[in-house]
Amino acid sequence: MRNNKLLTGIVAGIAAGSLLGGLYPEAGLAVHFIGDLFIRFLMMIVMPLIIAAMISGICRFGDVRKLGPLGFRTILYYLSTTALSVLTGILLVLAIHPGQLASETEQIEARGGTVMQDAAYTITGNTVIIEGFSLSESHTSSYSVILLDRNVTGKITASGNNRVEVSSWVQNKKHLAALDGKGKGVIIDKLPAERFLQEERSITDILQEVLTGLIPFNLFKAMAENDILPVITFSLLLGAVLSTLGEQGRPVIDFFNGLNEAIMKIIHLAMYAAPVGIGALIAGRLGEAGGFTGFLPELLRLGKYAFTVIAGLLIHSMVILPLILKFFGKTGIGRFAYNTSPALLTAFSTASSSATLPLTVECAEEKNGVSPRTAGFVLPLGATINMDGTALYEAVAVIFIAQINGITLGTPELAIIFLTATLAAIGAAGIPEAGLVTMVLVLKAVDLPIEGISLILAIDWFLDRCRTTVNVWGDSVGAKIIDRYVQAASHR
Ligand code: ASP
């Protein structure tokens, strides 16, 4: 599909979905399952995508042993600029607080829960009868019930008309025996009850967990459970080893290159469904929020979120990267940016670093004087693994989802987001919406609801373009800086 067609389709899908869900909330809810199908499709391709993109990316090094200093500098540049960009995103989202809501009630309602201050309830065994309330069956697995006057929380296991069943009660992180009796004031919260049970974990515990999580006991089990980090470790290792095997490794590398191409094609195919999928998700969300009248505050919050992402991208691309270019590349920003603009505009219109690659190489070699040797190595690799914009966006989006869910993240969790957003950006392919797929890794690492992604889908098509432009800009600046070192080394 041509990209302007895709863009028109997505805009039309968003418009149709907004009208449907906004004006007829019931109809919006009825089409929500089509959006679910779209998310399921994205989840289905996440594993093969990561394996193929990582292995084929790492093999572009050629034989890793030969690359030595050039490889080291390139990786160092990629990692440090990506880390800087994630840091900028985290600081901004913590300062701006785009997901902060005025009261706890609003927070609970924003995540799909209901607050009933005056509802009378009766408990018999593990069954709570709530007067004048009904809960749809489909949501029970992720809901918990809080009894306000007793300050206890229960995990809902089943529900019917005005009745919920609870597996166990929790108070102050301790399990309680079944309660009986009457009371007043109930909250049905969409946060899983396990969160109320979580022990405080120290940073060393979490680091240990992340490190253990890097190495799978059984690779196929990790894949089956959508556990992305161990699969990244394995793919990097396999890619690196394959690249040292010479002729013997060639057919396997070719296989993964072909697989990578095929997966990209599948994602392009998925893009045909994107207008309908995104439209249906928006219709569903709007329906859930009670149409336009219920949705307006949420729209304002999304505006603040988009502002945070864009402000971060601007700071990174117009302040941090130019300073790095000046300091390490001894190159002024004006002319360099002007020379790179054809690639940047292509990145904005295609939302794909890979599709932009021919222009990125052309601008670097022909206009910015980067040697073909450096450009040929640094830029293709950068298009696959160096994504400053994506990393920043993932960190902001995940923290935004936490804020909307009323979950406060501590320093250890922020450290995990910092680490995993960097890894998730490395794992994202240079194609439209890849960042949205790998964000699952970051959400899972800090135990946030994956469905939170649907909160930000409405404007993701636009943010994708903005972050892809920054991704390509970061690759171009990197190629110039690394080339300067390569030239200096060869003159020595
Ligand atoms: N579309 C981005 C790129 O190609 C990746 C992403 O989805 O963030 O660079």
Taking phi first (over 0 means left), then psi (-120 to 50 degrees means alpha), and beta for anything else, what does residue 181 get? left
Determine contact, residues 314/392, Cβ cutoff 8 Å.
no
CA of 352 to the centre of ligand 1 (A): 6
Residue 200, pLDDT score: 47
CATH number at residue 471: 1.10.3860.10
Residue 432 alpha carbon to ligand 1 centre in Å: 5
Express each pLDDT in 37-71 by its tens digit: 876 786 687 688 778 866 876 776 566 665 567 77
Please report the atom of ligand 1 found closest to the CA of residue 433: 7
**pLDDT of res. 42:** 67
Query: 465 CB under 6 A from ligand 1?
Result: no
Question: Which ligand 1 atom sits closest to the C-alpha of 434?
Answer: 7
Kindly tell me the sign of the dihedral angle through the C-alpha atoms of 100, 105, 109, 111: positive
Please give the angle made by the CA atoms of 344, 350 and 351, to the nearest 5 degrees. 80
390 lines ligand 1 (CB under 6 A): yes
Ligand 1 binding pocket includes 92 (Cβ within 6 Å): no
Q: Using an 8 Å Cβ cutoff, are 358 and 55 in contact?
A: no
Residue 131 — φ and ψ, nearest 5°? -70, 130
Q: Which atom of ligand 1 is nearest to the CA of 430?
A: 4
Q: In this structure, is residue 385 part of a structural domain?
A: yes
pLDDT the model gives residue 199: 47
Q: What CATH number does residue 131 fall under?
A: 2.40.30
**Beta-carbon count within 10 A of 363 CB:** 25
Q: Which atom of ligand 1 is nearest to the CA of 353?
A: 4
Indicate whether 249 and 285 sit together in one domain: yes
3-state SS assignment for residue 126: coil
The minimum-distance atom of ligand 1 relative to the CA of 352 is 4
Reported as a pLDDT band with limits 50, 70 and 90, residue 213 is confident
Radius of gyration from C-alpha coordinates of the chain: 24
Q: Is 260 in the pocket of ligand 1 (CB under 6 A)?
A: no
- Co-location of 83 and 204 in the same domain: yes
Q: For ligand 1, atom 2, which residue shows the shortest CA distance?
A: 468
CA of 18 relative to ligand 1 center, distance in Å:
25
Q: Which residue CA neighbors atom 8 of ligand 1 most closely?
A: 435
Q: Does the structure show a pLDDT above 90 at 254?
A: yes
Determine contact, residues 132/119, Cβ cutoff 8 Å. Answer: yes
CA distance 420 to 87: 12
pLDDT attached to residue 426? 82
- Record the tokens describing residue 253, joined without a space: 């590398």
Confirm if 387 and 439 have CB atoms less than 8 A apart: no
Of 465, 432, 449, give the one whose Cα is nearest residue 191.
449
Same domain, 158 and 265: no
Q: Which of 316, 422, 467 to mutate to test the pocket of ligand 1 (most atoms within 8 A of CB)?
A: 467
* Backbone dihedral region for residue 331 (phi beyond 0: left; psi -120 to 50: alpha; all else: beta): beta
Nearest to 316 by CA among 119, 83, 156: 83
CA atoms of 296 and 76, how far apart (whole Å): 44
| Residues 299, 292: Cα–Cα separation, whole Å | 9
pLDDT in tens, 333-348: 999 999 898 888 888 8
Contact 391, 89 (CB under 8 A): yes
Same domain, 248 and 358: yes
Are 133 and 277 found together in one domain?
A: no
CA 72 to ligand 1 centroid distance, Å: 24
Give the residue whose CA is nearest to atom 1 of ligand 1. 432
Is any ligand 1 atom within 6 A of the Cβ of residue 424? no
DSSP bridge pairs for 154 = 145, 169
Nearest protein Cα to ligand 1, atom 6: 435
Instruction: Say if 362 falls within a structural domain.
Output: yes
pLDDT the model gives residue 312: 97
Give the C-alpha distances (Å, rounded to integers) separating 228 from 59, 221, 427, 456: 20, 11, 9, 22
Q: Is residue 240 domain-shared with residue 173, that is, in the same domain? A: no
Residue found by looking up tokens 């489909």 in the block: 138
pLDDT single digits (tens) 137-160 = 455 556 788 888 887 888 787 777
Q: Inform me whether the pLDDT recorded for 310 exceeds 90.
A: yes
Query: Cβ(434) to ligand 1 under 6 A?
Result: yes
Pick the last residue of a domain from 131, 161, 190: 190
The pLDDT-based confidence of 352 (bands split at 50, 70, 90) is confident
Cβ 471 under 6 angstroms from ligand 1 = yes
CB-based burial, 147-161: b 16+ in 10 Å, e otherwise:
bbebebbbbbeebee
Per the domain annotation, does 332 fall within a domain?
A: yes
Ligand 1 centroid, distance to 158 Cα (angstroms): 40
Domain co-membership, 302 together with 409: yes
Determine, yes or no, domain membership for 351. Answer: yes
The count of domains in the chain is: 2
Ligand 1 contact via 353 beta carbon (within 6 Å)? yes
- Determine if ligand 1 sits within 6 Å of the CB of residue 430: yes
User: Strand 127-130 and strand 144-147: pairing?
Assistant: unpaired
In a domain, 146, yes or no: yes
379 with 415, same domain: the answer is: yes
From the list 276, 270, 302, the residue with the least C-alpha distance to 437 is 270
Query: Which residues neighbour 278 within 8 Å (Cβ) at sequence distance 6 or greater?
Result: 10, 13, 14, 17, 35, 38, 457, 458, 460, 461
User: If phi over 0 gives left and psi between -120 and 50 gives alpha, with beta otherwise, what is residue 291?
Assistant: left
What is the reported pLDDT for 348? 83
Is residue 105 assigned to a domain?
A: no
Look at residues 190, 220, 252 and tell me which one is the last residue of a structural domain: 190
Q: Are residues 46 and 164 in the same domain?
A: no
Question: Are both 380 and 407 inside the same structural domain?
Answer: yes
163: β partners? 129, 160
Cβ of 421 below 6 Å from ligand 1? no
- The pLDDT tens digits for 418-455 are 998 988 888 777 888 888 888 888 888 888 877 778 77
Q: Are 277 and 421 part of one and the same domain?
A: yes
The mean-pLDDT minimum among 311-315, 409-413, 483-487 falls in: 483-487
Any domain includes 254: yes
Task: Kindly provide the residue ranges of all beta strands, DSSP E only, lying in 81-230, ordered along the sequence.
Answer: 114-124, 127-130, 144-147, 152-160, 163-171, 174-176, 181-189
Ligand 1 centre distance from Cα of residue 361 (Å): 18
From 267, 350, 353, give the residue whose CB has the most ligand 1 atoms within 8 Å, as the site to mutate.
353
Residue 20 lies in a domain: yes
Q: Are residues 371 and 483 in the same domain?
A: yes
Domain of residue 180 covers: 112-190
Q: Atom of ligand 1 at shortest distance to CA of 393?
A: 8
Give residues with Cβ within 8 angstroms of 311, minimum separation 6: 92, 96
Interval 244-263 mean pLDDT: 89
CA distances to 272, 282, 407 from 108, in Å: 35, 20, 10
pTM for this structure?
Answer: 0.67
